[in-house]
Amino acid sequence: MQQLIQAANAIRKGNYGTRLSLVTSDEIGELGNTFNHMAAQLEDNIRNLNHEKEHLASVLRSMTDAVVTFDGEGKVILTNPPGEKIMQAWCDLDWAQMGEGQEVPEPLVPLFKMVMDQGGDQNSNVHVQQGVWSVQMAPLYADSVVRGAVAVLRDVTEEVRLEKMRRDFVANVSHEIRTPLSMMQGYSEALLDGMAASPEESEELIQVIHDESLRMGRLVKDLLDLARMEAGHTDMAVKEVDLVELLERVYRKFSVRSKEQGIHLRFECRQTFIELHQADEDRLEQVFTNLLDNAFRHTPSGKNVLISAELLTDTRTPVAKVIVKDEGVGIPSSDLPFIFERFYKADKARVRGESVGTGLGLAIVKNIVDAHHGTIIVNSVLGEGTEFILQFPVDSSK
Protein backbone atom coordinates (compact mmCIF):
# COMPACT_ATOMS: atom_id res chain seq x y z
CA MET A 1 0.00 0.00 0.00
CA GLN A 2 2.88 2.32 0.75
CA GLN A 3 4.17 1.88 -2.83
CA LEU A 4 0.68 2.62 -4.15
CA ILE A 5 0.48 5.83 -2.14
CA GLN A 6 3.94 6.94 -3.28
CA ALA A 7 3.12 6.22 -6.93
CA ALA A 8 -0.17 8.14 -6.68
CA ASN A 9 1.66 11.15 -5.21
CA ALA A 10 4.26 10.99 -7.99
CA ILE A 11 1.55 11.04 -10.66
CA ARG A 12 -0.18 13.89 -8.83
CA LYS A 13 3.06 15.87 -9.16
CA GLY A 14 3.16 15.26 -12.92
CA ASN A 15 5.35 12.15 -13.13
CA TYR A 16 2.94 10.32 -15.39
CA GLY A 17 5.47 7.62 -16.26
CA THR A 18 5.38 6.24 -12.70
CA ARG A 19 4.49 2.52 -12.49
CA LEU A 20 4.14 -0.06 -9.68
CA SER A 21 6.35 -3.15 -9.72
CA LEU A 22 4.04 -5.40 -7.66
CA VAL A 23 4.19 -9.06 -8.71
CA THR A 24 1.80 -10.56 -6.20
CA SER A 25 -1.32 -12.36 -7.35
CA ASP A 26 -3.58 -11.21 -4.56
CA GLU A 27 -5.87 -8.23 -4.39
CA ILE A 28 -2.91 -5.86 -3.93
CA GLY A 29 -1.31 -7.17 -7.11
CA GLU A 30 -4.59 -6.77 -9.01
CA LEU A 31 -4.92 -3.24 -7.66
CA GLY A 32 -1.36 -2.53 -8.79
CA ASN A 33 -2.09 -3.76 -12.32
CA THR A 34 -5.23 -1.65 -12.45
CA PHE A 35 -3.23 1.35 -11.21
CA ASN A 36 -0.54 0.82 -13.86
CA HIS A 37 -3.19 0.56 -16.58
CA MET A 38 -4.84 3.74 -15.31
CA ALA A 39 -1.47 5.53 -15.17
CA ALA A 40 -0.63 4.44 -18.74
CA GLN A 41 -4.01 5.63 -19.98
CA LEU A 42 -3.60 8.92 -18.10
CA GLU A 43 -0.11 9.40 -19.55
CA ASP A 44 -1.45 8.75 -23.03
CA ASN A 45 -4.32 11.22 -22.52
CA ILE A 46 -1.97 13.87 -21.16
CA ARG A 47 0.38 13.33 -24.13
CA ASN A 48 -2.53 13.74 -26.55
CA LEU A 49 -3.74 16.86 -24.75
CA ASN A 50 -0.25 18.37 -24.87
CA HIS A 51 -0.01 17.51 -28.56
CA GLU A 52 -3.36 19.20 -29.26
CA LYS A 53 -2.32 22.17 -27.16
CA GLU A 54 0.94 22.52 -29.11
CA HIS A 55 -0.94 22.11 -32.38
CA LEU A 56 -3.43 24.82 -31.37
CA ALA A 57 -0.61 27.11 -30.28
CA SER A 58 1.17 26.51 -33.60
CA VAL A 59 -2.00 27.30 -35.54
CA LEU A 60 -2.56 30.48 -33.54
CA ARG A 61 1.05 31.57 -34.02
CA SER A 62 0.86 31.04 -37.78
CA MET A 63 -2.35 33.06 -38.17
CA THR A 64 -2.00 36.56 -39.56
CA ASP A 65 -5.35 37.49 -38.02
CA ALA A 66 -5.36 38.46 -34.37
CA VAL A 67 -7.07 36.04 -31.96
CA VAL A 68 -8.00 37.06 -28.41
CA THR A 69 -10.04 35.12 -25.84
CA PHE A 70 -11.74 36.71 -22.83
CA ASP A 71 -13.24 35.15 -19.73
CA GLY A 72 -16.66 36.11 -18.44
CA GLU A 73 -15.24 39.14 -16.65
CA GLY A 74 -13.56 40.46 -19.77
CA LYS A 75 -10.02 39.51 -18.80
CA VAL A 76 -7.69 38.31 -21.55
CA ILE A 77 -6.88 34.61 -21.10
CA LEU A 78 -5.22 33.73 -24.41
CA THR A 79 -3.87 35.55 -27.46
CA ASN A 80 -1.71 34.82 -30.46
CA PRO A 81 1.21 37.20 -31.24
CA PRO A 82 -0.84 39.55 -33.49
CA GLY A 83 -3.60 39.60 -30.86
CA GLU A 84 -1.15 40.38 -28.08
CA LYS A 85 0.30 43.22 -30.13
CA ILE A 86 -3.13 44.72 -30.74
CA MET A 87 -4.19 44.39 -27.10
CA GLN A 88 -1.03 46.13 -25.92
CA ALA A 89 -1.45 48.94 -28.45
CA TRP A 90 -5.15 49.46 -27.77
CA CYS A 91 -4.86 49.24 -24.00
CA ASP A 92 -2.22 51.99 -24.08
CA LEU A 93 -4.70 54.39 -25.68
CA ASP A 94 -6.66 56.82 -23.54
CA TRP A 95 -10.26 55.68 -23.91
CA ALA A 96 -12.90 58.06 -22.62
CA GLN A 97 -15.23 55.25 -21.43
CA MET A 98 -12.58 52.81 -20.17
CA GLY A 99 -13.61 51.46 -16.76
CA GLU A 100 -11.19 50.75 -13.94
CA GLY A 101 -9.71 47.26 -14.22
CA GLN A 102 -11.40 46.68 -17.59
CA GLU A 103 -9.33 44.57 -19.99
CA VAL A 104 -11.65 44.47 -23.00
CA PRO A 105 -10.57 47.47 -25.13
CA GLU A 106 -13.26 50.08 -25.52
CA PRO A 107 -13.97 49.38 -29.25
CA LEU A 108 -14.75 45.72 -28.42
CA VAL A 109 -16.94 46.34 -25.37
CA PRO A 110 -20.30 46.56 -27.26
CA LEU A 111 -19.59 43.30 -29.12
CA PHE A 112 -18.41 41.58 -25.94
CA LYS A 113 -21.56 42.57 -24.05
CA MET A 114 -23.81 41.38 -26.89
CA VAL A 115 -22.01 38.02 -27.06
CA MET A 116 -22.21 37.52 -23.29
CA ASP A 117 -25.87 38.59 -23.10
CA GLN A 118 -27.24 36.99 -26.28
CA GLY A 119 -24.86 34.08 -26.77
CA GLY A 120 -24.60 34.44 -30.55
CA ASP A 121 -21.82 35.40 -32.97
CA GLN A 122 -21.34 39.12 -33.58
CA ASN A 123 -19.57 40.87 -36.48
CA SER A 124 -18.62 44.50 -36.87
CA ASN A 125 -15.99 46.90 -38.17
CA VAL A 126 -14.31 49.04 -35.53
CA HIS A 127 -12.31 52.19 -36.15
CA VAL A 128 -9.22 52.78 -34.02
CA GLN A 129 -7.19 55.88 -34.77
CA GLN A 130 -6.50 55.69 -38.55
CA GLY A 131 -7.16 51.94 -38.87
CA VAL A 132 -10.25 49.85 -39.54
CA TRP A 133 -10.61 46.36 -38.07
CA SER A 134 -13.07 43.62 -38.96
CA VAL A 135 -14.04 41.86 -35.73
CA GLN A 136 -15.80 38.52 -35.41
CA MET A 137 -16.63 37.54 -31.86
CA ALA A 138 -18.17 34.24 -30.73
CA PRO A 139 -19.15 32.88 -27.29
CA LEU A 140 -17.14 30.27 -25.39
CA TYR A 141 -19.39 27.69 -23.74
CA ALA A 142 -18.89 25.50 -20.68
CA ASP A 143 -21.78 23.20 -19.72
CA SER A 144 -24.10 25.14 -22.08
CA VAL A 145 -23.29 28.38 -20.25
CA VAL A 146 -21.42 31.28 -21.85
CA ARG A 147 -18.15 31.53 -19.95
CA GLY A 148 -16.29 33.94 -22.20
CA ALA A 149 -15.72 35.02 -25.79
CA VAL A 150 -13.17 34.64 -28.56
CA ALA A 151 -12.51 37.49 -30.99
CA VAL A 152 -10.82 37.32 -34.39
CA LEU A 153 -9.59 40.68 -35.67
CA ARG A 154 -8.36 41.47 -39.16
CA ASP A 155 -6.90 44.74 -40.40
CA VAL A 156 -9.13 45.83 -43.30
CA THR A 157 -7.88 49.41 -43.50
CA GLU A 158 -6.53 48.96 -47.03
CA GLU A 159 -9.63 47.07 -48.17
CA VAL A 160 -11.90 49.84 -46.86
CA ARG A 161 -9.72 52.47 -48.54
CA LEU A 162 -9.81 50.63 -51.88
CA GLU A 163 -13.58 50.15 -51.64
CA LYS A 164 -14.00 53.86 -50.96
CA MET A 165 -11.78 54.63 -53.95
CA ARG A 166 -13.92 52.32 -56.10
CA ARG A 167 -17.14 54.03 -54.99
CA ASP A 168 -15.61 57.47 -55.48
CA PHE A 169 -14.33 56.45 -58.90
CA VAL A 170 -17.77 55.29 -60.04
CA ALA A 171 -19.38 58.42 -58.62
CA ASN A 172 -16.79 60.70 -60.25
CA VAL A 173 -17.04 59.01 -63.64
CA SER A 174 -20.83 59.26 -63.47
CA HIS A 175 -20.58 62.95 -62.57
CA GLU A 176 -18.00 63.76 -65.26
CA ILE A 177 -20.04 62.01 -67.95
CA ARG A 178 -23.42 63.32 -66.79
CA THR A 179 -22.43 66.98 -67.17
CA PRO A 180 -21.49 66.92 -70.89
CA LEU A 181 -24.32 64.51 -71.65
CA SER A 182 -26.84 66.85 -70.04
CA MET A 183 -25.52 69.81 -72.01
CA MET A 184 -25.50 67.86 -75.27
CA GLN A 185 -29.05 66.67 -74.64
CA GLY A 186 -30.29 70.13 -73.70
CA TYR A 187 -28.76 71.93 -76.66
CA SER A 188 -29.74 69.23 -79.16
CA GLU A 189 -33.35 69.40 -77.91
CA ALA A 190 -33.21 73.18 -78.32
CA LEU A 191 -32.13 72.72 -81.93
CA LEU A 192 -34.84 70.12 -82.57
CA ASP A 193 -37.48 72.41 -81.10
CA GLY A 194 -36.37 75.27 -83.33
CA MET A 195 -35.42 77.52 -80.40
CA ALA A 196 -32.45 79.02 -82.24
CA ALA A 197 -33.58 82.41 -83.54
CA SER A 198 -30.83 82.75 -86.12
CA PRO A 199 -28.19 80.71 -87.94
CA GLU A 200 -25.59 82.23 -85.62
CA GLU A 201 -27.41 80.90 -82.55
CA SER A 202 -27.74 77.49 -84.20
CA GLU A 203 -24.02 77.48 -84.92
CA GLU A 204 -23.30 78.45 -81.31
CA LEU A 205 -25.44 75.58 -79.98
CA ILE A 206 -23.80 73.13 -82.38
CA GLN A 207 -20.36 74.34 -81.25
CA VAL A 208 -21.26 73.66 -77.60
CA ILE A 209 -22.44 70.16 -78.49
CA HIS A 210 -19.20 69.58 -80.41
CA ASP A 211 -17.04 70.86 -77.53
CA GLU A 212 -18.83 68.66 -75.00
CA SER A 213 -18.48 65.61 -77.24
CA LEU A 214 -14.74 66.29 -77.45
CA ARG A 215 -14.64 66.58 -73.67
CA MET A 216 -16.33 63.19 -73.31
CA GLY A 217 -13.90 61.76 -75.84
CA ARG A 218 -10.94 63.04 -73.82
CA LEU A 219 -12.39 61.55 -70.65
CA VAL A 220 -12.91 58.13 -72.24
CA LYS A 221 -9.42 58.20 -73.79
CA ASP A 222 -7.82 59.14 -70.47
CA LEU A 223 -9.75 56.40 -68.68
CA LEU A 224 -8.61 53.79 -71.19
CA ASP A 225 -5.01 55.02 -71.08
CA LEU A 226 -4.95 54.97 -67.30
CA ALA A 227 -6.54 51.52 -67.12
CA ARG A 228 -3.91 50.12 -69.50
CA MET A 229 -1.08 51.75 -67.55
CA GLU A 230 -2.29 50.52 -64.17
CA ALA A 231 -2.66 47.02 -65.63
CA GLY A 232 0.96 47.16 -66.80
CA HIS A 233 0.01 47.19 -70.48
CA THR A 234 1.62 50.51 -71.38
CA ASP A 235 2.86 50.51 -74.97
CA MET A 236 6.27 52.18 -74.91
CA ALA A 237 7.93 53.16 -78.19
CA VAL A 238 11.37 53.53 -76.59
CA LYS A 239 14.26 55.14 -78.42
CA GLU A 240 16.99 57.70 -77.83
CA VAL A 241 15.36 61.02 -76.99
CA ASP A 242 16.93 64.48 -76.83
CA LEU A 243 15.22 65.88 -73.75
CA VAL A 244 16.30 69.47 -74.47
CA GLU A 245 14.80 69.38 -77.96
CA LEU A 246 11.60 67.85 -76.57
CA LEU A 247 11.23 70.55 -73.91
CA GLU A 248 11.94 73.31 -76.44
CA ARG A 249 9.12 71.94 -78.60
CA VAL A 250 6.73 71.91 -75.64
CA TYR A 251 7.88 75.44 -74.74
CA ARG A 252 7.10 76.70 -78.25
CA LYS A 253 3.71 75.01 -78.13
CA PHE A 254 2.75 77.00 -75.02
CA SER A 255 4.36 80.29 -76.07
CA VAL A 256 1.25 81.46 -77.93
CA ARG A 257 -0.96 80.56 -74.99
CA SER A 258 1.34 82.41 -72.60
CA LYS A 259 0.94 85.61 -74.65
CA GLU A 260 -2.84 85.18 -74.79
CA GLN A 261 -3.08 84.76 -71.01
CA GLY A 262 -0.44 87.33 -70.15
CA ILE A 263 1.74 84.76 -68.39
CA HIS A 264 5.54 84.95 -68.58
CA LEU A 265 6.83 81.55 -69.73
CA ARG A 266 10.57 80.81 -69.46
CA PHE A 267 12.71 77.83 -70.42
CA GLU A 268 16.13 77.35 -68.83
CA CYS A 269 18.68 74.60 -69.44
CA ARG A 270 22.38 74.45 -68.61
CA GLN A 271 23.14 71.92 -71.33
CA THR A 272 22.33 72.05 -75.03
CA PHE A 273 21.88 68.29 -75.25
CA ILE A 274 20.53 65.76 -72.72
CA GLU A 275 19.97 62.30 -74.14
CA LEU A 276 17.69 59.69 -72.59
CA HIS A 277 18.78 56.35 -74.01
CA GLN A 278 15.46 54.52 -73.63
CA ALA A 279 12.40 56.76 -73.50
CA ASP A 280 9.05 57.20 -75.20
CA GLU A 281 9.13 60.69 -76.69
CA ASP A 282 5.36 60.97 -77.17
CA ARG A 283 4.65 59.85 -73.61
CA LEU A 284 7.16 62.29 -72.17
CA GLU A 285 5.66 65.10 -74.23
CA GLN A 286 2.29 64.11 -72.75
CA VAL A 287 3.79 64.46 -69.25
CA PHE A 288 5.21 67.95 -69.78
CA THR A 289 2.16 69.12 -71.73
CA ASN A 290 -0.10 68.01 -68.90
CA LEU A 291 2.01 69.72 -66.23
CA LEU A 292 2.21 72.97 -68.20
CA ASP A 293 -1.50 72.87 -68.94
CA ASN A 294 -2.18 72.61 -65.20
CA ALA A 295 0.24 75.46 -64.53
CA PHE A 296 -1.45 77.74 -67.06
CA ARG A 297 -4.94 76.92 -65.79
CA HIS A 298 -4.02 77.86 -62.23
CA THR A 299 -1.67 80.81 -62.77
CA PRO A 300 -3.11 84.35 -63.05
CA SER A 301 -2.07 86.88 -65.65
CA GLY A 302 1.20 88.67 -64.96
CA LYS A 303 2.78 85.73 -63.11
CA ASN A 304 5.57 83.38 -64.18
CA VAL A 305 5.77 79.77 -65.32
CA LEU A 306 9.21 78.17 -65.54
CA ILE A 307 10.51 75.03 -67.24
CA SER A 308 14.06 74.08 -66.38
CA ALA A 309 16.24 71.07 -67.16
CA GLU A 310 19.71 69.91 -66.23
CA LEU A 311 21.85 66.79 -66.31
CA LEU A 312 22.99 65.62 -62.88
CA THR A 313 26.25 63.69 -63.05
CA ASP A 314 27.14 63.72 -59.36
CA THR A 315 24.66 60.91 -58.65
CA ARG A 316 25.38 57.15 -58.76
CA THR A 317 24.05 57.10 -62.31
CA PRO A 318 23.45 60.17 -64.52
CA VAL A 319 19.98 61.64 -64.05
CA ALA A 320 18.01 64.18 -66.07
CA LYS A 321 16.16 66.62 -63.83
CA VAL A 322 13.19 68.66 -65.06
CA ILE A 323 11.29 71.27 -63.05
CA VAL A 324 7.91 72.76 -63.94
CA LYS A 325 7.17 75.67 -61.61
CA ASP A 326 4.31 78.15 -61.53
CA GLU A 327 3.31 81.16 -59.43
CA GLY A 328 -0.31 80.10 -59.22
CA VAL A 329 -2.67 79.72 -56.31
CA GLY A 330 -0.88 76.68 -54.88
CA ILE A 331 -2.17 73.51 -53.23
CA PRO A 332 -2.87 73.04 -49.50
CA SER A 333 -0.40 70.68 -47.83
CA SER A 334 -3.30 68.44 -46.75
CA ASP A 335 -4.17 67.80 -50.40
CA LEU A 336 -0.65 67.09 -51.68
CA PRO A 337 -0.64 63.33 -50.87
CA PHE A 338 -3.71 62.83 -53.08
CA ILE A 339 -3.00 64.85 -56.21
CA PHE A 340 -1.85 61.80 -58.21
CA GLU A 341 -5.07 59.91 -57.51
CA ARG A 342 -7.71 59.54 -60.18
CA PHE A 343 -10.27 62.37 -60.23
CA TYR A 344 -8.41 64.37 -57.62
CA LYS A 345 -10.54 67.47 -57.28
CA ALA A 346 -8.01 70.24 -57.67
CA ASP A 347 -10.75 72.86 -57.48
CA LYS A 348 -10.83 72.31 -53.73
CA ALA A 349 -7.43 73.91 -53.59
CA ARG A 350 -6.87 75.69 -56.87
CA VAL A 351 -9.13 78.05 -58.77
CA ARG A 352 -10.00 76.54 -62.12
CA GLY A 353 -10.16 78.67 -65.19
CA GLU A 354 -12.51 78.22 -68.07
CA SER A 355 -10.57 75.17 -69.24
CA VAL A 356 -11.54 72.14 -67.19
CA GLY A 357 -9.56 68.90 -67.27
CA THR A 358 -10.73 65.35 -66.84
CA GLY A 359 -9.22 64.94 -63.37
CA LEU A 360 -7.04 62.10 -64.66
CA GLY A 361 -4.05 64.05 -65.94
CA LEU A 362 -1.76 63.80 -62.93
CA ALA A 363 -2.59 60.13 -62.43
CA ILE A 364 -1.51 59.51 -66.04
CA VAL A 365 1.62 61.62 -65.52
CA LYS A 366 2.60 59.53 -62.49
CA ASN A 367 2.14 56.28 -64.40
CA ILE A 368 4.22 57.48 -67.35
CA VAL A 369 7.02 58.67 -65.07
CA ASP A 370 6.97 55.33 -63.25
CA ALA A 371 7.14 53.49 -66.58
CA HIS A 372 10.37 55.39 -67.30
CA HIS A 373 11.76 54.38 -63.87
CA GLY A 374 11.66 58.03 -62.91
CA THR A 375 10.39 59.95 -59.90
CA ILE A 376 8.07 62.91 -59.50
CA ILE A 377 7.56 64.98 -56.38
CA VAL A 378 5.57 68.14 -55.79
CA ASN A 379 6.18 71.14 -53.56
CA SER A 380 3.52 73.77 -53.12
CA VAL A 381 2.75 76.78 -50.95
CA LEU A 382 -0.81 78.01 -50.90
CA GLY A 383 -1.00 81.41 -52.55
CA GLU A 384 2.58 81.28 -53.87
CA GLY A 385 2.71 78.48 -56.43
CA THR A 386 3.52 74.87 -57.19
CA GLU A 387 6.69 73.08 -58.28
CA PHE A 388 6.89 69.63 -59.89
CA ILE A 389 10.34 68.02 -59.84
CA LEU A 390 10.91 65.09 -62.18
CA GLN A 391 14.00 62.92 -62.48
CA PHE A 392 14.69 60.35 -65.17
CA PRO A 393 17.67 57.98 -65.39
CA VAL A 394 19.65 58.67 -68.53
CA ASP A 395 19.87 54.93 -69.13
CA SER A 396 16.76 53.29 -67.62
CA SER A 397 18.01 49.79 -68.49
CA LYS A 398 20.65 49.97 -65.75
- Overall CATH class of domain 238-393: alpha beta
Is the domain spanning 65-155 CATH 3.30.450.20? The answer is yes
DSSP state of 99: P
Task: Please tell me the predicted confidence (pLDDT) of residue 345.
Answer: 59
Q: Which residue has the higher pLDDT, 92 or 99?
A: 92
| DSSP E strand stretches across 289-374 | 304-312, 319-326
Asked if pLDDT for residue 102 goes beyond 70, the answer is no
Asked if pLDDT for residue 166 goes beyond 60, the answer is yes
Task: Please tell me the predicted confidence (pLDDT) of residue 304.
Answer: 96
Asked if pLDDT for residue 189 goes beyond 70, the answer is yes
CB 386 within 8 A of CB 298: yes
Alpha carbon distance 242, 394 (integer Å): 10
Global pTM? 0.56
Per-residue pLDDT band for 216 (boundaries 50, 70, 90) equals confident
What is the CATH number that goes with domain 2-61?
Answer: 1.10.8
Task: Please tell me the predicted confidence (pLDDT) of residue 388.
Answer: 97
CB 125 within 8 A of CB 156: yes
Task: Please tell me the predicted confidence (pLDDT) of residue 396.
Answer: 65
Q: What pairs with residue 306 in β-bridges? A: 266, 325
For 367, how many CA atoms within 13 A lie in the half-sphere containing its CB? 24
How much is the average pLDDT of 226-246? 84
The two domains 65-155 and 159-230 share their CATH topology (first three levels equal): no
Task: Please tell me the predicted confidence (pLDDT) of residue 53.
Answer: 76
Task: Please tell me the predicted confidence (pLDDT) of residue 357.
Answer: 61
Task: Please tell me the predicted confidence (pLDDT) of residue 23.
Answer: 60
Asked if pLDDT for residue 319 goes beyond 60, the answer is yes
Residue 220's closest CA among 120, 398, 358, 95?
A: 358
Asked if pLDDT for residue 127 goes beyond 80, the answer is yes
Task: Please tell me the predicted confidence (pLDDT) of residue 214.
Answer: 86
Q: Which residue has the higher pLDDT, 322 or 315?
A: 322
Asked if pLDDT for residue 348 goes beyond 80, the answer is no
How much is the average pLDDT of 16-37? 76
State which CATH number among 1.10.1040.50, 3.60.20.10, 1.20.140.10, 1.10.287.130 fits the domain covering 159-230: 1.10.287.130
Across 97-101, 108-112, 326-330, least confident range: 97-101
Asked if pLDDT for residue 99 goes beyond 70, the answer is no
Q: Which residue has the higher pLDDT, 235 or 398?
A: 235
For 283-321, letters b (16+ CB in 10 Å) and e give bbbbbbbbbbebbbbbbeeebbbbbbbbbeeeeeebbbb
Residue 313's closest CA among 375, 237, 393?
A: 393
Average pLDDT, the chain: 85
As a whole-number percent, the residues of the chain with pLDDT over 70 amount to 91
Asked if pLDDT for residue 176 goes beyond 90, the answer is no
Strands 264-269 and 304-312: parallel
Task: Please tell me the predicted confidence (pLDDT) of residue 88.
Answer: 83
Asked if pLDDT for residue 350 goes beyond 70, the answer is no
Residue extents of the structural domains in the chain: 2-61, 65-155, 159-230, 238-393
